[in-house]
Amino acid sequence: MHALTPVALAPRSRWPLGLLVGFAWLAVAIPSALAASSNWVVVRRVRLYDEPRSSSPHLRTLAKGERVSSVVMPGVPEVDGSYRHVRTSQGEVGWCYAPYLAEIETPAPPTDEPIAGLPPDVAALATTLDADGQRLLAYVGRQMEACPSEPDCPADNLDECPPCGCAEPWSGKALQVIMKRRLPWQDEDPDSWLGGARPIRLSHQQFLALQQATNSPDASGKMELSFEERLRTLRGLAIAGGGGTITLNEGDYVELVGFVAQDRNVEWGGGESVNCKFAGENPEDPDQPHADIHVPIVPGSSGKQCESIVVEPIPQFRPEAGAWWPGDFNDLKTDKTQLMIRGTLFYDNEHKVRDCAHKNAQGLSSQPQRISLWEIHPVVEILRCKHGSGCDPDDSSDWARVR
């Protein structure tokens, strides 16, 4: 089985097109030992650019599922800012937006050897986790390796924001930031996922049940959860579903059907550690914003925020430039369009529940209104009902992607 591993982003530098073209012939001429490269799969439709920037001319658009390989050239980085240097199966060489690629890697066979590079307390915890927990921890470890010990916050630009954001590596906050960015197909078989692997469909009531299952021990209202709290409290949670019981973990691939809450004006989020304190639109590149977007999804077309589940698109992952803007969600709200939201199950421990019964409760006025701290974060796919509302979630012909 192949596994998808995280995309590491490097600080951006600028390489003139002429220099890249001048080096292109070297990729063929150098010995294979020097030209060893990794293989990647396109997980979202992505453009192949001449240079590592969206303003550069593009050769063509690569389809989801296409395979590419990294280009290894003397003196030219494999990753430049948010762009990876790749060669397509047709021999084209260019730059693709790295978050839309996932590395294909054959995992090592099972071993009793400990995961390398873990702090002693985390290494001790790793020995008590099941195989899925250990795989998650190995993924987290790879992300931590790319985090500086003294993060520069705010960074010069979002491309230079490390996987830990503003958090110190191996802190509970760093773990939370990494989980906020984790895509649901990482560490999964790309062929099965791209072939139509289904997310777990959860109702609003199941999100509420998930919150109730998390309340003991209580993990809400804490600015930071320890590794043990996050990897134990937020894993193996059993709730009713499918005529029996389903078990859920933070990081699962899930979907939710509903509408944008009528009493919410969707706007850019503020500066958060996860995005190195950047906020709102990006003045250097208006098509690539800096911030997450908080969108409350309710079960009925006239629903209010206090009965919502929060879903959050993030700037590191969008289907294409200019997509999933606050105005898009406000238009969908005005039209009362039924949506299907897919993405990663995430627990927002920093807040407290503020449902309709506690909307005006003392001490909760600064908390977002919702029925559960469990979110879909990040969002990786949004579908709209072609008929406006009343679509069958099991009938794919009823739904169209929101780009």
Boundary residue ending a domain (194, 213, 242): 194
- One domain, residues 209 and 249: yes
111 falls within a domain: no
User: What is the maximum span of the chain, computed from C-alpha positions, in angstroms?
Assistant: 70
pLDDT of residue 179: 93
- One domain, residues 179 and 318: no
Tokens of 178: 């990494």
CA pair distance 267, 291, nearest whole angstrom = 10
- One domain, residues 101 and 156: no
- One domain, residues 8 and 126: no
For the four alpha carbons of 65, 200, 388 and 390, in that order, the dihedral sign comes to: positive
264 falls within a domain: yes
Tokens of 52: 């590592």
- One domain, residues 250 and 391: yes
385 falls within a domain: yes
Task: Kindly state the DSSP code that residue 357 receives in the 8-state scheme.
Answer: G
Long-range contacts of range 222-225, CB-CB < 8 Å, 24 or more positions apart?
A: 222/349, 222/350, 223/173, 223/350, 224/171, 224/172, 224/173, 224/176, 224/349, 225/172, 225/175, 225/176, 225/349
340 falls within a domain: yes
Which 3 state secondary structure label does DSSP give 136?
Answer: helix
pLDDT in tens, the chain (403 residues): 334 433 433 333 333 333 333 333 333 333 333 334 578 888 878 899 999 988 888 888 888 778 888 888 778 888 888 899 998 877 888 999 888 888 875 444 444 556 667 889 898 888 888 888 888 888 888 889 889 988 888 777 777 788 999 999 999 999 999 999 888 766 554 444 444 557 899 999 999 999 998 875 455 567 788 888 888 889 889 999 877 889 999 988 899 999 999 999 998 877 788 888 876 665 555 555 678 899 999 999 999 999 999 999 988 777 666 678 889 999 999 999 999 999 999 999 989 999 999 999 988 998 999 999 999 999 988 999 999 999 999 998 999 989 7
Tokens of 81: 């800012």
Give yes or no for a contact between 372 and 205, defined as CB atoms under 8 angstroms apart: no
- One domain, residues 171 and 282: no
CA pair distance 226, 232, nearest whole angstrom = 10
Helices (H), 72-130: 120-126
Boundary residue ending a domain (136, 167, 194): 194
61 falls within a domain: yes
Tokens 């072939």 belong to 195
113 falls within a domain: no
> Which residues constitute the domain of residue 351?
200-401
- One domain, residues 217 and 190: no
Helices (H), 95-163: 120-126, 131-144
Tokens of 182: 């984790």
pLDDT of residue 339: 98
Q: How many domains does the chain have?
A: 3
Give yes or no for a contact between 344 and 252, defined as CB atoms under 8 angstroms apart: yes
Boundary residue ending a domain (161, 178, 194): 194
Look up the CATH number of the domain holding residue 96. 2.30.30.40
348 falls within a domain: yes
pLDDT of residue 98: 87
- One domain, residues 394 and 246: yes
- One domain, residues 212 and 181: no
CA pair distance 29, 61, nearest whole angstrom = 27
238 falls within a domain: yes
- One domain, residues 26 and 150: no
- One domain, residues 257 and 391: yes
pLDDT of residue 263: 94
- One domain, residues 186 and 212: no
pLDDT of residue 250: 92
